[in-house]
Amino acid sequence: MENPVLIFFIFLPFLAAFLIPLLNLFWDQGKTIVLFLVSFVLMLLALIIVINPPQSTQYIPGGWYPVDNIPVGIHLVGDGLSRFMLLIINSIAFLCAIYAIPYVKMFTGQKYFYTLFFLQLAGLNGVVLAGDMFNLFVFMEVTAKASYALVAFGVRKTEIEAAFKYQVMGGLATLFMLFGIAMLYWMTSTLNMADISVVLRNNHAENTNVIHFTQLFFLAGVAIKAAMIPFHAWLPDAHSSAPSPVSAMLSGVVIKVLGIYVILRLFINVFAPSEFLSMVIAVLGGVSMTAGVILAIGAWDLKRLLAYHSISQMGYVLMGIGIGMGVIAGGGSPTTVALTFTGALFHMINHAVFKGLLFLTAGSIEYSTDTLDLRKMGGLARYMPLTMVASFAASMAIAGIPPFNGFFSKFAIIVAAIQGGYHFRAALGLLVGILTLASFVKFQRYAFFGTPRPGVTLKHTPLLMKVSMVTMAVLCLIMSLFIFPEVRAVFLDPAVNTLLETTDYALKQI
C-alpha cells in the first residue's frame, strides 16, 4: 500500500530550496513568501499525519514492488517514531523560519540562507523517513553539508573555524557510519532496515562479536553527530557561532535527528537491545549529562553556555534510552520500559522547544545589544520585557521547575531509573538538574537583572521575532499537558509503541 503524503516532506523542501534562487531574479519578496508558505504547509502536514495517522506506513518511490518475498531495497517508512520526529522537525523549523525572516537581514546573500535552510530541512525529513541504510546515509550527509555551510554563514573568522572543525568531525562520523553500513551489507546483503533486522536475527544470532564490532562503529559515528562527551569538541563552537535561528535548528533538531533518532532506530529496531550496549549508551549519556553541565556553568558566552547545555540535556535522553534498553535486555517489566521511553521522547520534544527558544532569545539579545558576553549585559529586563519573559519560561523549563514541561520529562526519566533499579543514575539526574538551575540563574541574573550598562543603544526587536518567541514560550507551558493520557495517546504513545516492539518492528514492515 502506498502513502504519497510521505514524499511531500522531502519533495517540498527540495523544491523550495531550488526555486528560491530562480525566483530571486525577478521577485524580491518571493523568497520570504516561499519560506513562510512551505514551512507552514510542512508543519500542518506533520500535525495532520500525527493526529490522523494514515493506514499504511510505507512509500516505495519509482513504482518498484517486492518479488519472491524479497522486500524492496529503498523505501520510505513513516511509523509512529518517524511521525513524532516529523512533528518536532517541522514545527521547530516553521518557528525558526519566521524568526529568521527579519533576523537574516543582518547578513548579505540572504537567498543562500533560505536555500541552505530548506536543504537542511529536506535532509532532516529524509533521515527520519528513511526505511533503508542508503537513504539514511545520504540524507544524513545532505543535512550535515547544509549545516556546515549554515554555521559558516556569517563568514567571520571564528565562524569559518567552527564550520571547519564541524566538517572535520562530521567527516569522521560519516566514515564510521559508512564502515558500519558496509559491515552490515556484507553480513546481510540487503540495505532495507527491516530486512537487515530479520536476517540478523535468523542467520547471525551467534555472531555476537561481529555484531558488537559493527555496533561500535555505528555508535562512534552517531555519538559524534549527537556530540556526546568525549566526542563533543565541535558542538560548542559550531552551535555558538551559527546565526541564531540556525543554532536553534542545530541544537533543537539536528543533533536529535542525526544523533538520538538514529540511535533509537538502529539499536532498538534493527539490532536487538543487548546488556553490553545499553551499558555503553547509558554511561555515554551519564558522562555527557554531568560534564556538559559543569562546562556550562563556567561559560561566559551566552550561546556557548546554551550549547553546553544541549550536550547535557541530550545526555538525559541518552541515559533514559540506555536504561530502557537495559531493562529490555534484562527482561524487566514492560511498564518501566514504556516509562523510560516516554520520558526520553518527551524530553526530546521538550528540549527541542525550550532550547530552540533559548537560542532565539539569545539571538534577540544579540540583535539588540550586539554582544553575547554575559559580563557586558545587565538590566535588560527594563528594555526587552518580552524577551525576558520568554527566556525566563525556557530557563525554568530546562531547569525542570514545575509547571513547565521540562519538569515532567525529567521526572519520568528519574522515576524510571529508580524503578529499573539504577539508583546511582537517578541521583545523577537530580544532581544535574540542580546544576542546570544554577547555571540558568546565572544567565538570568547577568543578562536581565542588575544595573544597565551606561550609554547602550538598543535596537528594537522586530515583530516576527517576538511572535516566534512567544509561541515557543506558550508551548513550553502547554506541552506539560502531555502528562494526561488522552493527549499522550495522540502524540507520544505511537512513537513509544514503535520502540517497545523492538525488533518485531521489522516483521510489520515486510
Positions in the binding site for other proteins (CB under 8 A): 2, 4, 7, 11, 14-15, 18-19, 21-22, 25, 59-63
Instruction: Read off the DSSP letter of residue 76.
Output: E
Least gap, CB of 15 to other proteins (angstroms): 5
CA distance 213 to 88: 32
Query: Nearest approach, Cβ of 146 to other proteins (angstroms)?
Result: 14
Q: Which residue has the cell 530550496?
A: 17
**Closer to other proteins by Cβ: residue 13 or 356:** 13
Q: Give whichever of 119 and 465 is closer to other proteins, judged by the CB atom.
A: 119
Judged by CB, which is closer to other proteins: 16, or 220?
16
Q: Record the cell numbers describing residue 40, joined without a space.
A: 507552514
Q: Is 375 exposed, middle or buried (0-12, 13-18, 19+ CB in 10 A)?
A: exposed
Q: In angstroms, rounded to a whole number, what is the distance separating the alpha carbons of residues 282 and 167?
A: 27
Enumerate helices (H) and strands (E) in the chain, giving the number of each.
23, 2
Nearer to other proteins, 2 or 373 (CB): 2
Q: How far is the CB of 241 from other proteins (least distance, A)?
A: 22
Least gap, CB of 481 to other proteins (angstroms): 36
Q: Residue 337 Cβ, how far from other proteins at the closest point, in Å? A: 36
Cβ distance to other proteins smaller for residue 61 or 452: 61
Give Cα separations from 259 to 92, 111, 222, 254 (angstroms). 17, 29, 5, 8
Alpha helices by DSSP H, listed for 228-274, are: 235-241, 244-249, 255, 262-264
Min separation Cβ 39 and other proteins, Å: 18
Residue 131: CB minimum distance to other proteins, A? 14
Identify the DSSP state of 461: P
Question: DSSP letter at 229?
Answer: T
What one-letter code names the amino acid at 18? F
- Least separation in angstroms between residue 19's CB and other proteins is 6
Give the type of residue at 422: Y
Length of the chain: 510
Nearer Cβ to other proteins (18/300):
18
CA-CA-CA-CA torsion sign (93, 240, 262, 113): positive
For residues 45 and 60, which CB has a smaller minimum distance to other proteins in the complex? Answer: 60
Question: Is 97 or 122 the residue whose CB approaches other proteins more closely?
Answer: 122
The CA R_g of the chain, rounded to the nearest whole Å, is: 22
With a CB cutoff of 8 Å and minimum separation 6, the contacts of 218 are 176, 177, 180, 262, 266, 267
* Residue 88 in grid coordinates: 518536532
Q: In the complex, what is the shortest distance from the CB of residue 31 to other proteins, in angstroms, rounded to a whole number?
A: 12
Judged by beta carbon, residue 16 or residue 435, the one nearer other proteins is 16
Task: Pick between residue 62 and residue 331 the one whose CB is nearest to other proteins.
Answer: 62
**Cβ distance to other proteins smaller for residue 113 or 354:** 113
CB of 118 vs other proteins, minimal distance in Å: 12
CB of 26 vs other proteins, minimal distance in Å: 12
> How many beta carbons lie within 10 A of that of residue 481, not counting itself?
13
* List of residues 6+ apart from 186 with CB closer than 8 A: none
Nearest by Cα to 495 from 63, 69, 206, 84: 84
DSSP-derived letter for residue 502 is G
